[in-house]
Structure 1
């Protein structure tokens, strides 16, 4: 074989090797790009999930504050006028990715919001500062009358022991009640009267219902 042909063959082998190196480098670059963008989009999705969770936490906290404020002022001395709260009037609610798919559950101890977004479940719980009952005044008075023979209003005070009454209310309010986030939620502080040897006294609770 002549020297010129040998050189050409070596050059071809060198070119093939360089081309293979180029393809490997390009493949590695593409793979690295795929991994980078996958990680980037996963990071973005993580931020969106975090933002969605924070929005749900805000809504739960906002509702808790409103309920607590209903009972905070002169809590033991006087009842309050009924007022309404709407989740769907909150800007955070409207800006959240959940739409109207937020489930509101209220018990005597806490508010619990549940929602789904992008096939993921989110949850936020906030405890109330005051005694809460998830039903209206009619249900309250009827329950007290059934249990104690009196409605617990000013002209029909209860005569049972205070701790017995509070224990009954705790059990009565333990069940979670589902509220519609797209409708008015009524909030009202109510007084329960009881009579003992020292006279008539009262303690308060906050009613939350639709």
Structure 2
């Protein structure tokens, strides 16, 4: 019994002398500078770790968004070029062919159509947007001879240059291989048309008729305009 009492006195003495405990057994830090320093350092480290993690998550989300936007830009450019080429692939001799391309602005995409700069020239479809001072761009080559103007504009240009509209009833006098006509239209097509994504795009397949004498030849072109 005396031994038990002695053990209780030793435990009570240890509890009182422990620097982190009050006599009632609760931890305290009032008189221990090292404990306060450890606590502050641990909280600071936790805050810094949280900031680093949040920054990494934000950077990852931003990077993923940029990748998706670039992919969507590639798909959009390819879609426009495919629509133009599909008109060009229509069998010859079917006369004028007209199709309408509509921008799917109601589709749930990350990319904002209002930011886009889309253009069509005689050889390429190009689309791009500014991203924090950098220009993100995608391009697709066209498979058929393309002119970025309407049929009315085409006939006006031909008449001004060759005194004939290039229709079946008014063919252009040109020696084979008609390079004066093809080179003229190629130069005119170098100036791209910039597309308004809130408007439909008209794609037409037309023919320019040329004659080198008794024979009339047909040159096919794809017109893109709004």
TM-score > 0.5 by shorter chain: yes
Moved more, 132-141 or 52-61: 52-61
Q: Is 1:153 paired with 2:173? A: no
**Structure-to-structure mapping, 1:43-192, within 5 angstroms:** 43-75=60-92, 77-88=93-104, 91=107, 94-116=108-130, 121-161=135-175, 162-192=178-208
Structure 1: stretches of 5+ with no match in the other structure = 1-7
Alignment length (residue pairs): 202
Offset, 1:117 = 6.7
Q: Is 1:205 paired with 2:215? A: no
Distance 2:131 2:156 in 1: 40
Contact 1:56/1:113 (8 A) holds in 2: yes
Among 37, 58, 62, the alignment partner of 2:54 is 37
Offset, 1:69 = 0.5
Encode CA deviations 1:156-183: one digit per residue, 9 max, x unaligned: 1122241221111111111121221111
Contact 2:173/2:213 (8 A) holds in 1: no
Offset, 1:90 = 6.7
Q: Is 1:22 paired with 2:36? A: no
Q: Which has the larger radius of gyration?
A: 2
| Greater relative contact order (CA < 8 Å, ≥ 6 in sequence) | 1
RMSD value, Cα: 2.9
Contact 1:150/1:158 (8 A) holds in 2: yes
Determine which structure has the larger helix proportion and give its number: 1
Secondary structure at the residue paired with 1:53? Answer: helix
Structure 2: stretches of 5+ with no match in the other structure = 1-16, 21-28
Match of 1:3 in 2: none
Secondary structure at the residue paired with 1:201? Answer: strand
Distance 2:186 2:95 in 1: 20
Under a length normalisation based on structure 2, what TM-score does the superposition of the two structures give? 0.78
Contact 2:150/2:223 (8 A) holds in 1: yes
Distance 1:158 1:73 in 2: 24
Contact 1:97/1:117 (8 A) holds in 2: no
